[in-house]
Structure 1
Amino acid sequence: MQSSVDSVITTAPPQPESNTTVELKELTTSDRPPAAFSPTSTSTVPTKPRDDRDKYKEDDGRHEPGWLPADAPSFFISPPSLPYISSDEGIGGHLKTTASDFVVLENTPPPPDDKPGYIWATIRRSGRTTLEVQEHFKTSLNLKDHKEVGVSGLKDKHATTTQTFSIPSFSSSEKRHLTVEEVTSLSSAVGEVLTCVPCSKKLRRNFHHSNTFTITLRSACPNPAPKIQSIIKSLEETGIRNYYGPQRFGSHLSGAYTGYKMLKEIQDCKNKKQRKKASWNAKKSVKGVFSVQAWQSMLFNCILAKRLRGDILIGDIAVPSSSTSSEPGAGDRNGAKPTETRVTGKNFEEIRLTDVSMTCPLPGSRQLKCYPNTPAGKVESDILKMSDITEQTLTEVDAWGSRRVGFLKFEDLNFSFEVLEIEEGGWGSDVKFSFTLGTGQYATNVLREFMKNGNEEGDAREVKKEEKKRKREEEKDTANAKKT
């Protein structure tokens, strides 16, 4: 990256009698802690010769790790680091050694009524993605599309999750409404059914207002409590960067690169018919939509990484801190959409003293932009120029863009931790963390500040080993039951 972009905005702590000062300084390699977009930090992406048959190839988590072609921009081959907020030493450790180590509770309001139409089933499960549960109900009820089963959010497979689904109660094959007992029986095939109640409304995306995480970190350093307390003190002063997690981008940024490549080919295409076809693919296909979103999210992270603190600067676009949703357009838990305010020299002191949060862009053709000649706008404009994608191209693929809250207040997380006793002969310490995040916010952003070892995404191999072990035990129990 060019030196014009490798600058970090820092702000001195606000003083009552003077304005906040802005300083630009060079970010050296030694200043960058490990862990960029991938969980395993600073090594460059492996490359291999370009093959047109592998165009847009990316890792889906089931095959060999994704790769980027040798002609990919250096921005993707060696992406910028995502710095930690605190300078305190981390405690290390490993995540997701078992699904029970990563517990997620979706905090969903109760159904708005008790009339027929759908049945809302709250299920605790592990070993299945949200999509796999939807597919189960689609197959069992002969639905046309898995999307007929409503969900509020998407949950990880390698975790113990509690989530609500809205299942159509009318059976087209039997020409009647299913009973709560029948849906409960169907739901029990995928997990433990906690509640099952009728409702006339389908569950919509982001209906839940937050997620509560209970996460056990294994094999952290001995006596981790003092280090954890020191990090907490730092985060209470600065807040936590609201990065998108590595799972948003695919292995080695392959998802973000796919989005960039799609947009670049549309931008460079001179044939109107081919350009229209490519634009349709990028904005209508599932892969196209997710890839473009991954590209937008990557640029958001790059811009946010340049802000060392959550302090408001001249040129910022600010939103009320009361907004519990990451993206202002989605509204808060009461349904109100926060007002975006442009920070200028005239209103800077007034806004700085109010309870607001700065935002960074998910680049698009319609989102509110910072003025480029302001301290906040310079960072945004440098990154967006480097992306080499025009607003016209973004318009063609309906990438309108939005702004997302940049920093989370640590005191809003309801954070707690407990150092656990480990088994005799074990090394180090196990630590249980509990905290709550709004929709669209990533638990790994909190954990990385405490771990600082690049293992925030957990050891997928260990999780798979545990799953295979569990399946073998289940098969063995089934075989023994048949014998008896």
Structure 2
Amino acid sequence: MTVQDHDITTATDTAKLPQPMQPPLKQATYKAHTTDFVVNELLPLEFTGEGEHLWLHIQKSGMNTAYLAKLLSEWAEIPLRDVGFSGLKDRHALTTQWFSLRIPKKQLPDSEFAPVDISANESVTILEQQWHNKKLNRGTHRANQFIITLRDIEFADIDNSFSNPEQLLSTKQAVEQHLTTISQSGVPNYFGPQRFGRSGNNIREALSLFARPVPEARPPSNKGKRKRVPREQNTMELSAARSLIFNKILAVRVGDGSWNTGLAGEVFNLDGSGSIFASDEIDDTLQGRLEAGDIHPTAVLWGTANDKVSGQAAAMETDIVAQSPLLTQLATGLEQRNIKAQRRALRLPIEALSWQWQDIEGGQILVLNFTLTTGSFATSVLASLVQELSTSSSSIS
């Protein structure tokens, strides 16, 4: 069956993914201003104070991480490969993160880093610098702190006139109860809309990639060694394909309530780590660990050698893909390129969640402060809270 363009647009609309509970806010706006979306990289590390790697703690806005890395390499007159960073940070936000620069013999440029070829909407400030004996590698940081301001709030299922103080209090209490609940139970660990591009264009690119011949294996460099398949360079498309399959599996499991309770044959993730283990049955011990948040059920990031999952959990993943022509094409493309299967937790714990209401002219705003582990999306937390989440027409986009 041919996959239609509207099928992709619909499948990648993360706003329509199911939630375990009805969000208590009908509508809210975020990113109305750069400071409405703050991301701080949490990278606990003891610096050696020696070595040839200069680590810079930088605050930026209006600029993506890769472009800033390029500016740093040009300033230090070093190859771009000698600039390290742990993760990509949102361009349309106020963010802080670390970069490392390999400076041979510690010979710094004569002038301080102060890029001039940037627009009025872009800013870069160095907050701190340290010498260290190692380069900063991707995925080093443990978590990100988010400070998000929601504006233009409309509460769900009530007359949002603000004319009745008792009614306003009840709606605020409903929101606060919801926040208290998700701080204890977590939220579905969906990939956010940015993973799929505008209207799902990254999935269209993935399908286009999979329609092309698979790269041929390279000839062996030494006699007796196996041929090597060249490393796939289209990481954005491959990641989008795996993410869409994962989201659809998670959506089904949110629907049947197994996203945080587990299934027979489940593969579990140990909270706060990359460790996983499989279990044929859910016994009382595992159930207790699930309820305590010590472990989380997982779903596949599709690829070959998905042999850890079994039983009911494996059958569900296979059936969900088989029933969708779009997912089947994506899964086949991933397998043909020998992408290895991985596992991702279905449940996203929220650390240190707090909130504050602020009165403004015409209504109220809600400021959320929380921490998420690396690789998760703040939009998953917002989607659990807000039915219709939008960016302001005045936001930078």
Same fold (TM over 0.5): yes
Contact 2:238/2:334 (<8 A) preserved: no
Contact 1:101/1:217 (<8 A) preserved: yes
Structure 2: which 5+ residue stretches go unaligned? Answer: 117-122, 155-161, 163-167, 219-227
Distance 1:188 1:226, change over 3 A: farther
- Aligned letter for 1:341? F
1:462 is matched with 394
SS in 2 for 1:136: helix
Q: Compute the displacement of 1:233 (Å).
A: 4.4
Q: Compute the displacement of 1:349 (Å).
A: 3.0
Match runs of 1:62-211 below 5 Å? 72=4, 75-79=7-11, 81-144=16-79, 146-170=80-104, 177-179=106-108, 185-186=112-113, 191-211=124-144
- Aligned letter for 2:193? P
Distance 1:289 1:282, change over 3 A: farther
Within the alignment, does 1:383 sit opposite 2:302 as a pair?
A: no
SS in 2 for 1:186: coil
SS in 2 for 1:232: helix
Residues 103-125 of structure 1, C-alpha deviation per residue, up to 9 Å, x if partnerless? Answer: 11101123542213111010111
Could you tell me how far apart the structure 1 residues matched to 2:332 and 2:365 are? Answer: 51
Distance 1:449 1:126, change over 3 A: same
Could you tell me how far apart the structure 1 residues matched to 2:183 and 2:43 are? Answer: 27
Could you tell me how far apart the structure 1 residues matched to 2:130 and 2:110 are? Answer: 12
Pick one of 213, 216, 241 that aligns with 1:295: 241
Could you tell me how far apart the structure 2 residues matched to 1:362 and 1:255 are? Answer: 16
Pick one of 201, 209, 219 that aligns with 2:152: 219
Could you tell me how far apart the structure 1 residues matched to 2:366 and 2:236 are? Answer: 34
2:120 is matched with none
Contact 2:76/2:103 (<8 A) preserved: no
Q: Compute the displacement of 1:194 (Å).
A: 1.4
- Aligned letter for 1:102? F
Q: Percent identity?
A: 24
Pick one of 395, 398, 408 that aligns with 2:348: 408
Contact 2:241/2:330 (<8 A) preserved: no
Higher strand share: 2
Q: Compute the displacement of 1:239 (Å).
A: 2.5
2:165 is matched with none
Within the alignment, does 1:317 sit opposite 2:267 as a pair?
A: yes
Distance 1:233 1:138, change over 3 A: closer
Q: Compute the displacement of 1:356 (Å).
A: 1.4
Q: Compute the displacement of 1:232 (Å).
A: 2.2
SS in 2 for 1:93: strand
SS in 1 for 2:91: coil
- Aligned letter for 1:364? G
Contact 1:296/1:362 (<8 A) preserved: yes
Q: Compute the displacement of 1:226 (Å).
A: 1.6
Match runs of 1:253-402 below 5 Å? 253-266=200-213, 283-285=231-233, 288-308=234-254, 309=257, 310-323=260-273, 328=274, 338=275, 340-345=276-281, 348-354=283-289, 355-371=294-310, 373-374=311-312, 376-385=313-322, 386=324, 387-389=327-329, 393-402=333-342
TM-score scaled by structure 2? 0.80
Could you tell me how far apart the structure 1 residues matched to 2:41 and 2:352 are? Answer: 15
Could you tell me how far apart the structure 1 residues matched to 2:320 and 2:209 are? Answer: 19
Could you tell me how far apart the structure 2 residues matched to 1:449 and 1:152 are? Answer: 27
- Aligned letter for 1:109? P
Contact 2:53/2:101 (<8 A) preserved: yes
- Please give the root-mean-square deviation of Cα atoms over the aligned residues, in Å: 2.9
Distance 1:284 1:321, change over 3 A: closer
Structure 1: which 5+ residue stretches go unaligned? Answer: 2-69, 171-175, 268-273, 329-337, 466-484
SS in 1 for 2:371: strand
Q: Compute the displacement of 1:91 (Å).
A: 4.8
Could you tell me how far apart the structure 1 residues matched to 2:384 and 2:62 are? Answer: 27
How many residue pairs align between the two structures? 354
Q: Compute the displacement of 1:296 (Å).
A: 0.4
Could you tell me how far apart the structure 2 residues matched to 1:245 and 1:75 are? Answer: 18
Structure 1 consecutive aligned stretches of length 4 or more whose deviation exceeds 6 Å: 274-277
Could you tell me how far apart the structure 1 residues matched to 2:210 and 2:229 are? Answer: 10
TM-score scaled by structure 1? 0.67
Distance 1:91 1:225, change over 3 A: farther
Could you tell me how far apart the structure 2 residues matched to 1:262 and 1:420 are? Answer: 48
Residues 54-113 of structure 1, C-alpha deviation per residue, up to 9 Å, x if partnerless? Answer: xxxxxxxxxxxxxxxx95376425327411221243152211011111111101123542
- Aligned letter for 2:192? G
Could you tell me how far apart the structure 2 residues matched to 1:366 and 1:393 are? Answer: 14
Could you tell me how far apart the structure 2 residues matched to 1:101 and 1:90 are? Answer: 18
Distance 1:216 1:237, change over 3 A: closer
Q: Give the stretch that moved more between structures: 78-87 or 360-369.
A: 78-87
Greater relative CO (CA pairs within 8 A, separation 6+): 2
Could you tell me how far apart the structure 2 residues matched to 1:390 and 1:444 are? Answer: 24
2:377 is matched with 442
Contact 1:364/1:394 (<8 A) preserved: yes
SS in 2 for 1:78: helix
1:56 is matched with none
2:159 is matched with none
